[in-house]
């Protein structure tokens, strides 16, 4: 069961593929903080990856920070190992931090269930949107840009029209 | 025989089944699609199941390249003709296998 709208962002301090540890506090100056449950091996993550990179770049100058988190059990899904995360981030040139949640504590704290699954927190770090990036894994069939619309609403001081959608994708691979 | 092997942890098999049914209808056929759920790593090994969905027509995988991937309970990755990644085979792959 995922955290409810209005919930505070859970604390975390996790290693990133850039060789540094990253904590919730580090993103304190972000206007919005977007945590995305992610991984390497899931085709749904890969299908949405370019769009997540684009959203990240488009809103970076407004202080919006995107953080991808991989919590999968690497003993059963070795493609999701920390080393493979580094390889993928380097290969794709991720514009967002990519953190390894080895003990799955952040995934549990968020109540994440799928990859990809988005948790958008406002400047007070309260959850304002949760769910899918948009309404189709096939970019050419997208009609609703849930995440982008929620970001733009919050940056404009408005309420997002859509606050929760089902996250479609692979399941988080629990230990 | 058309076989569709799937794992419930991946949401893609209904979409794959629907696409196969659509193509079969266009071809004027009503072949049965034999659905087999894969529920354990041992079964994945035994069935040489590289991820969900795996579709075989007369025993031949519709994506022979991906068929050799490590057996696992996972969502299978397919590559569309334009290079994009997809959780189900492309229409072209399925049409070629079913004709």
pLDDT digits 0-9 by tens, A10-44: 999 999 999 999 999 999 999 999 999 999 999 99
pLDDT surpasses 90 at A111: yes
Taking CB atoms and an 8 Å limit, are B75 and A77 in contact across chains? no
Average pLDDT over residues A102-127: 98
| Secondary-structure percent of chain B, ordered helix, strand, coil, rounded to 5 | 30, 20, 45
Give the strand order in the sheet containing A32-38: A97-100, A64-70, A32-38, A117-121, A127-131
Taking CB atoms and an 8 Å limit, are A43 and B78 in contact across chains? yes
> What is the model's pLDDT at position B53?
98
Residues of A within 8 A of B90 (CB-CB) are none
Domain ranges for chain B: 2-98
Domain ranges for chain A: 26-171
Residues of A within 8 A of B75 (CB-CB) are 41-44, 170
CB interface of B with A, residues 6-65, below 8 Å: 9-12, 41
Taking CB atoms and an 8 Å limit, are B86 and A137 in contact across chains? yes
The C-alpha atoms of residue B74 and residue B88 are separated, in whole angstroms, by 13
> In CATH, which superfamily holds the domain spanning A26-171?
Glutaredoxin (3.40.30.10)
The C-alpha atoms of residue A30 and residue A124 are separated, in whole angstroms, by 10
pLDDT, tens only, B55-65: 999 999 999 99
Q: Is B84 left (phi over 0), alpha (psi -120 to 50) or beta?
A: beta
Q: Kindly report the nearest CA distance between residue B45 and chain A, in angstroms.
A: 13
Residues of A within 8 A of B16 (CB-CB) are none
> What is the model's pLDDT at position A169?
96
B69 touching A (Cβ < 8 Å): no
Residues of B within 8 A of A39 (CB-CB) are none
Overall pTM surpassing 0.95 (yes/no): no
Q: Which CATH architecture has domain B2-98?
A: 3-Layer(aba) Sandwich (3.40)
> What is the model's pLDDT at position A118?
98
> What is the model's pLDDT at position A63?
97
User: Out of B9, B73, B75, whose CB is closest to A43?
Assistant: B75
The pLDDT-based confidence of B12 (bands split at 50, 70, 90) is: very high
Taking CB atoms and an 8 Å limit, are A170 and B75 in contact across chains? yes
B72 touching A (Cβ < 8 Å): yes
> What is the model's pLDDT at position B83?
87
> What is the model's pLDDT at position A91?
97
């Amino acid at each position: 069961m995922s955290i409810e709208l209005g919930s505070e962002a859970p604390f975390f301090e996790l290693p990133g593929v850039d060789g540094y540890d990253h904590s919730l506090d580090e993103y304190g100056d972000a206007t919005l903080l977007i945590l995305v449950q992610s991984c390497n091996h899931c085709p749904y993550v890969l299908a949405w990856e370019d769009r997540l990179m684009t959203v990240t770049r488009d809103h970076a100058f407004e202080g919006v920070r995107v953080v991808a988190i991989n919590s999968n059990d690497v003993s059963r899904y070795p493609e999701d190992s920390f080393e493979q995360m580094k390889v993928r981030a380097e290969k794709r040139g991720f514009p967002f931090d990519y953190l390894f949640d080895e003990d799955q504590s952040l995934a549990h704290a968020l109540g994440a269930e799928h990859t990809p699954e988005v948790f958008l927190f406002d400047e007070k770090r309260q959850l304002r949107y949760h769910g899918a990036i948009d309404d189709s894994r096939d970019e050419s069939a997208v009609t609703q840009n849930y995440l982008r619309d929620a970001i733009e609403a919050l940056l404009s001081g408005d309420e997002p029209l859509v606050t929760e959608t089902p996250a479609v994708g692979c399941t988080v691979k629990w230990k | 025989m058309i076989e569709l092997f799937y794992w419930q942890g991946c949401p893609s098999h209904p979409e794959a089944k629907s696409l196969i049914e659509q193509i079969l209808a266009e071809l004027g056929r009503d072949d049965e699609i034999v659905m087999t759920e894969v529920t354990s790593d041992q079964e994945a090994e035994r069935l040489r199941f590289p991820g969900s969905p795996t579709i075989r027509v007369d025993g031949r995988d519709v994506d022979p390249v991906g068929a050799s991937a490590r057996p696992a309970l996972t969502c299978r990755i397919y590559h569309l003709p334009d290079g994009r990644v997809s959780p189900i085979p492309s229409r072209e792959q399925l049409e070629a296998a079913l004709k």
